[in-house]
Amino acid sequence: MNPTASREQNRQHQVNIIELSYYELKQATNNFHHSNKIGQGGFGPVYFGKLRGQNVAVKMFNPHGRQGHFKFEQEALILSSVRHPNIVKLFGLCSESMALVYEYLSNGSLERNLRVLAWQDRVRIIQEVRSALIYLHFNRPYAIVHSDIKPANMLLDGHNMSRLGDFGTARLLRQAGKKNINRMTIPMGTTGYMDPIYLKTQMLSTQADIYSFGIIILQLLTGRESVFGITDEVKKWIGNKECPRRIFDENAGSWPYVEAKQLLCVALQCCDCDELKRRPSLTSGCWGL
């Protein structure tokens, strides 16, 4: 599928996505002043701005090289056709400068806030991300695989409500009954969050997101910022009868132990690399809290 052609074909389905000029973006960001810079992505900087009476985040894409163009077109295509309370909202785009304009989320990324959130916020965020993934994976006519789910790509508003962002590596998969698998030549994502099965087979499916989601759940429950070896460590903790409660991050407050342990087990199932069938469905009852 050609992202540029698809974006033009889907214009009729876009709601309130406006084409902006480079001049408007310069005005909104105080001429891209360094004090307005709030982030640096892999393909360009992100600026805070005020545009048409709203606080916005302006994401610039590097115009040099094919990857910048591809990610700009891909993210514009997908975010202009989806609407979900837990997916970042795209307000507009600027084709001449390869920029996307989003709602501004004042609390920043989950990565930055991971250790300071109360357990209630963490559990709610898990359910919010799950809701967003259900929406994406069961989208028609194409399932959407994010393929780079990580705390840095999960943004929080002033009430710590989460939004999934950064769809530059997302892929559209044809729905064929219960299967939606697409051949990928070069796996994309972030080391530590990428599904080992996807890395080995180069076959992308919605299971890649399930694995990443499982890793994030383990981080939210344990408070661990490093993901390397996290599944093995959690399994070892669970096997030790003397310290299962110590698994959970004390900074989050007093966890409801039974429910939290259930989530821990579900997260480990999401990360199962021996048999994909063991990974839980996002719509199954095992997620109930």
pLDDT for 179: 57
pLDDT over 50 at 244, yes or no: yes
Average pLDDT of the chain is: 89
Are 9 and 130 contained in the same domain? no
- How much is the pLDDT for 245? 83
Q: Are residues 270 and 171 in the same domain?
A: yes
pLDDT at 5: 40
Q: Is 148 a catalytic residue?
A: yes
Domain shared by 137 and 151, yes or no: yes
Asked whether residue 29 falls in the same domain as residue 116, the answer is: no
* pLDDT for the residue 12: 35
Q: Is residue 260 domain-shared with residue 138, that is, in the same domain?
A: yes
Residues 283 and 145 in one domain: yes
Domain limit, last residue, from 87, 103, 119:
103
**Are 258 and 153 in the same domain?**
yes
Q: Are residues 179 and 261 in the same domain?
A: yes
In this prediction the pTM is 0.90
pLDDT band at 67 (very low <50, low <70, confident <90, very high): confident
What are the tens digits of pLDDT across the range 170-205?
Answer: 999 876 555 555 656 578 889 999 999 999 988 899
Domain hosting residue 96, numbered range: 3-103
Whether residue 181 is found in the same domain as residue 276: yes
User: Which of 103, 120, 153 is the endpoint of a domain?
Assistant: 103
Active-site hit among 121, 148, 166, 272: 148
Asked if residues 214 and 265 have their Cβ atoms less than 8 Å apart, the reply is no
Residue-wise pLDDT tens digits, 75-119: 999 999 999 999 999 999 999 999 999 999 999 999 999 999 999
Does pLDDT of 13 surpass 60?
A: no
Secondary structure in 3-state letters for the chain: CCHHHHHHHCHHHCCCCEECCHHHHHHHCCCCCHHHEEEEECCEEEEEEEECCEEEEEEECCCCCHHHHHHHHHHHHHHCCCCCCCECCEEEEECCCCEEEEECCCCEEHHHHHHHCCHHHHHHHHHHHHHHHHHHHCCCCEEEECCCCCHHHEEECCCCCEEECCCCCCEEEECECCECCEECCCCCCCCCCCCHHHHHHCEECCHHHHHHHHHHHHHHHHCCCCCCCHHHHHHHHHCCCCCHHHHCCHHHCCCCHHHHHHHHHHHHHHCCCCCHHHCCCCCCHHHCC
| 97 lies in the same domain as 127 | no
CATH classification of the domain holding 49 = 3.30.200.20
Please state the domain count of the chain. Answer: 2
* Percent of the chain topping pLDDT 70: 89
Shared domain for 44 and 170, answered yes or no, is: no
Q: Which range has the top average pLDDT, 28-32, 140-144, 168-172, 187-191?
A: 28-32
Mark whether 213 and 273 lie in a shared domain.
Answer: yes
Least confident of 16-30, 235-249, 261-275: 235-249
- CATH classification at residue 152: 1.10.510.10
Asked which of 55, 78, 103 is the last residue of a domain, the reply is 103
